[in-house]
Amino acid sequence: MARLIDEGKIQRIKLATIQLVVQNGYGGASISSIAKRAGVAEGYLYRFYSSKQELVTELLYSQVARIVGKLESLLNTCTSTREVMTQLIGELFRMGTETPEEIRFIYVLMHDYNFQVSDLQRQHIKGLIDKVISIGIANGELNSRISAEEAYGMVIIYPIEFINLRMKGFFGIKEWTTEEQNRVAEFSINALK
Amino acid sequence: MARLIDEGKIQRIKLATIQLVVQNGYGGASISSIAKRAGVAEGYLYRFYSSKQELVTELLYSQVARIVGKLESLLNTCTSTREVMTQLIGELFRMGTETPEEIRFIYVLMHDYNFQVSDLQRQHIKGLIDKVISIGIANGELNSRISAEEAYGMVIIYPIEFINLRMKGFFGIKEWTTEEQNRVAEFSINALK
DNA sequence: GGAATATGAATGAACAATCATTCATTTAAT
DNA sequence: ATTAAATGAATGATTGTTCATTCATATTCC
């Protein structure tokens, strides 16, 4: 073996990509700007990713996987919809405070018509949402006529929208309290009743 | 006066811009591709817009104004929150069937960190949302603790998200029925109770 | 232990293509 | 003839991608 791959560089590339996609959108985040910010040669990115599209897609995939994975594990441990939703929304807010760029990144790309989540991931999400619904109905927590879209809307989309609305300071405020976080969870739970 | 300005060309530029921003995002929609699709010379755009940013911003502004204007007029004629929300959501779905590209365009740009709606427009929206809330509370239709963000979330964001989720076929289906449209309205109204 | 070699990590100049923007020129209406 | 609409070639910068080259280090041999 010769030199070892510098994991720090890959990490810096990922971080720079996330930041620049958030800041300038996919089309506005150029390879050269990413490489410059990461402190890495331009061509170096192509050792790990065959194209810009692949780089961003893979990053989106893994970021989404974090949320989907959390939901999946919650469904294995929690017995009520309230618990699942409170915990998941807690995780989203945690991302919002600890790694704000990452939740912004998901937010930006999930609304980009170029970046559909993969079919597999989508099916996975659909299955998990169905499970949330069936637990909720069994417990009498959810209206029995709730659709997957409605549940998805309140479990995933609404909290992400709330967090990003705050980050943008759309209504003036840019931070949130634990109370407000709980209110988001309560609101989502309530909407599905 | 010499030649008259061909309004059709301006219209074609607007249409092409909307379509290409939806398809490729802001960064991916180039002036040359817009001009080509509009059947217009590249430099021609600069007679009316000083930059690409201005072109897109102005288009976003007028599209948002359509929705905001509708909400405003509804608040002057309707006496209940139910009526306001049902009608507004009706308008959004109408856009979805009649001019799908336009609601996609709003959807894409409202989630782009480069395209904050203007402060003025945002204040205007805030005022209208507050009015929705006060009518709802006065009528006993809304929970008295509903926040502006919650109302905005269910009156504007949720329906737009629903429509675009459908357009993307996220859960398989790509169309919607009048019944489903009413369900979205009912769901939104219910969430604010 | 120390020098030679082999490996592959990392570089960045160079590619054609495309970018947003400009402006001298042409076209068409009064 | 005059005036402004409309053109599209031209500009220099930047795009995503490639690849010959450099350089650091792990391994091998004496």
What is the predicted ipTM?
Answer: 0.91
Q: Give the long-range contacts of residues B97-105, CB within 8 A, separation 24 or more.
A: B100/B167, B101/B15, B101/B18, B101/B19, B101/B22, B102/B18, B102/B63, B103/B160, B103/B163, B103/B164, B104/A113, B104/B22, B104/B164, B104/B167, B105/B18, B105/B21, B105/B22, B105/B59, B105/B60, B105/B63
Q: Where residue A1 falls among pLDDT bands split at 50, 70, 90?
A: low
Please, which residues 8-47 of chain B have a Cβ atom closer than 8 Å to chain A?
22-29
Rg of chain B over all Cα atoms, to the nearest angstrom: 19
Tell me which of A30, A31, A56, A111 to substitute to probe the interface with B (most B C-beta atoms closer than 10 Å).
A111
Alpha helix positions (H), B29-99? 31-38, 52-77, 81-98
Q: Which CATH class is domain A51-191?
A: mainly alpha
Note whether B190 contacts A: Cβ–Cβ < 8 A. yes
Asked if B113 and A126 come within 8 Å (Cβ–Cβ), the reply is no
- The domain covering B1-48 belongs, at the CATH homologous superfamily level, to Homeodomain-like (1.10.10.60)
List the structure tokens of B33: 């591709």
Instruction: Find the Å distance, CA of residue A4 to C1' of nucleotide C1.
Output: 24
The DSSP 8-state label assigned to residue A58 in this structure reads: H
Backbone phi and psi for residue A33, each to the nearest 5 degrees, phi listed first? -70, -35
The stretches in chain B having pLDDT less than 70 are: 1-3
pLDDT in tens, A21-49: 999 999 999 999 999 999 998 889 898 99
Other CB atoms within 10 Å distance of the CB of residue A68:
17
Write out which nucleotides of chain C lie closer than 7 A to a protein Cβ.
6-14, 18-24, 27-30
Name the segment(s) of chain A with CATH classification 1.10.10.60: 1-48
Distance separating alpha carbons of residues A180 and A92, to the nearest angstrom: 13
Percentage of residues of chain A with pLDDT beyond 70: 98
Q: Angle, nearest 10°, between helix axes A81-98 and A52-77?
A: 140
Evaluate whether A107 touches A18 at the Cβ level (below 8 Å): no
pLDDT in tens, B147-178: 999 999 999 999 999 999 999 999 999 999 99
